[in-house]
Amino acid sequence: MSSHKPASDRITVPKFVAMKRDGKKISMLTAYDHTMAQLLDEAGVDSILVGDSLSMVVQGHDTTLPVTLDEMIYHAKMVARAVHRALVIVDLPFPSFHLGVYSAIESAGRILKETGAQAVKLEGGVEQAEVIAGLVSAGIPVMAHVGLRPQLVMQMGGYKVQRDEEQLLADALAAQNAGAFGMVLECVPRSAAAKISAELTIPTIGIGAGAGCDGQVLVVNDMLGLTGGYVPKFVKAYADLRGQITTAARQYCEEVRGGAFPADEHSFK
Ligand code: KIV
């Protein structure tokens, strides 16, 4: 008999979907390593996304395109190992799901088998419906990602608010009909996001999409005030960790240079 029974308060995919039906707003944050995932899980966040934003946030690239499937798996393992309650979702990186259903199942299957995460996310709606259906029929829960799709940055020439309501609704419905259990709506006018959220039976998780979504997601480094340089308009910083870390590191350097650290209590008799 397996000893890996899910903890009773574990947020499973069906529980995640039921939160919409029960009128409970869903909180989601990204995480890329063990310590952060542990802190967020202990704080009670409902879902943790190992986003391909790790390409920019952790690896320092300009876009989300360079991160590989192996690198996503490496980080997802650290995150999943730390999490006891939240639903852990992992992004399928570019272009791991553009090479057909077979290859998408191979990539997503590796994520589920090797990391301990519960679901994958992929960018796309109408044109990814066949891939979503294929993954779902293989038993792989899929979250879709509609609106601004950062993996299309080369084609779009930048990151822009997506305003074509007809296309947005068509993408959202196609993903739902293909079997997606939820979807991220990124950089969509709040009225359109609210309309789509009302239309769908599965939860919408907004980022730059207003309060009418069924939940919200932010990149954790942005919401903790860790990001240097440009931060998008839709981010609210709940802390200034960049400032606090810089101050702490400066003080440490001064104390080492001045001999104040280590004191006797930080060493052995
Ligand atoms: O990669 C990511 O972090 C994301 C979120 C911004 C939704 O896709």
Q: Which two tokens stand for residue 24?
A: 């409970």
Q: Which atom of ligand 1 is nearest to the CA of 205?
A: 7
**Which CATH number is 113's domain given?**
3.20.20.60
The answer to whether residue 4 is domain-embedded is no
- 166 alpha carbon – ligand 1 mean position (Å): 23
Is 52 known to sit in a ligand binding site?
A: yes
Residues 209 and 261 in one domain: no
Residues 31 and 94 in one domain: yes
Q: Where are the beta strands (DSSP E) in the chain?
A: 26-30, 47-50, 87-91, 119-123, 142-147, 182-186, 204-207, 215-218
Phi-psi category of 84—alpha, beta or left, where left has phi over 0 and alpha has psi -120 to 50? alpha
> Of 175, 120, 111, 172, whose CA–CA distance to 147 is shortest?
172
Q: Give the DSSP letter of residue 203.
A: -
| Best probe residue, ligand 1, of 52, 221, 226 (max atoms within 8 Å of C-beta) | 52
Note if the pTM is more than 0.85: yes
How would DSSP label each residue in 119-141?
EEEEEBSGGGHHHHHHHHHTT--
Residues 111 and 149 in one domain: yes
Ligand 1 contact, 216 CB (< 6 A): no
Q: Which atom of ligand 1 is nearest to the CA of 64?
A: 1
Q: Tens of pLDDT along the chain (269 residues)?
A: 455 555 689 999 999 999 999 999 999 999 999 999 999 999 999 999 999 999 999 999 999 999 999 999 999 999 999 999 999 999 999 999 999 999 999 999 999 999 999 999 999 999 999 999 999 999 999 999 999 999 999 999 999 999 999 999 999 999 999 999 999 999 999 999 999 999 999 999 999 999 999 999 999 999 999 999 899 999 999 999 999 999 999 999 999 999 999 999 999 99
Residues 145 and 196 in one domain: yes
The answer to whether residue 176 is domain-embedded is yes
Residues 165 and 252 in one domain: no
From residue 30, alpha-carbon distances to 22, 26, 177, 216 in Å are: 24, 13, 26, 11
What are φ and ψ of residue 142, in 5° steps?
-125, 130
Give Cα 181 to chain centroid, integer Å: 15
- 198 alpha carbon – ligand 1 mean position (Å): 22
Residues 206 and 266 in one domain: no
Query: What pLDDT shows up at residue 8?
Result: 80
Q: Give the DSSP letter of residue 262.
A: S
Residues 91 and 215 in one domain: yes
The answer to whether residue 2 is domain-embedded is no
Ligand 1 contact, 219 CB (< 6 A): yes
Give Cα 238 to chain centroid, integer Å: 18
Q: How many domains does the chain divide into?
A: 2
Give Cα 103 to chain centroid, integer Å: 22
Residues 159 and 264 in one domain: no
85 in Cβ contact with 10 (< 8 Å): yes
Whose Cα sits closest to atom 5 in ligand 1?
51
Residues 129 and 260 in one domain: no
Residues 97 and 111 in one domain: yes
- 30 alpha carbon – ligand 1 mean position (Å): 7
Is 267 known to sit in a ligand binding site?
A: no
The answer to whether residue 163 is domain-embedded is yes
Q: Give the DSSP letter of residue 207.
A: E
Q: Which two tokens stand for residue 52?
A: 């391909």
Helices (H) and strands (E) in the chain, counts: 11, 8
- 93 alpha carbon – ligand 1 mean position (Å): 11
The answer to whether residue 95 is domain-embedded is yes
Domain containing residue 247: 241-269
Ligand 1 contact, 217 CB (< 6 A): yes
Rg of the chain's alpha carbons, rounded to an integer? Answer: 20
The answer to whether residue 8 is domain-embedded is no
Rounded Cα–Cα distance for residues 124 and 168 (Å): 10
State yes or no: is 130 an active-site residue: no
Residues 33 and 141 in one domain: yes
The answer to whether residue 7 is domain-embedded is no
43 in Cβ contact with 50 (< 8 Å): no
The answer to whether residue 6 is domain-embedded is no
Rounded Cα–Cα distance for residues 227 and 221 (Å): 6
Residues 254 and 146 in one domain: no
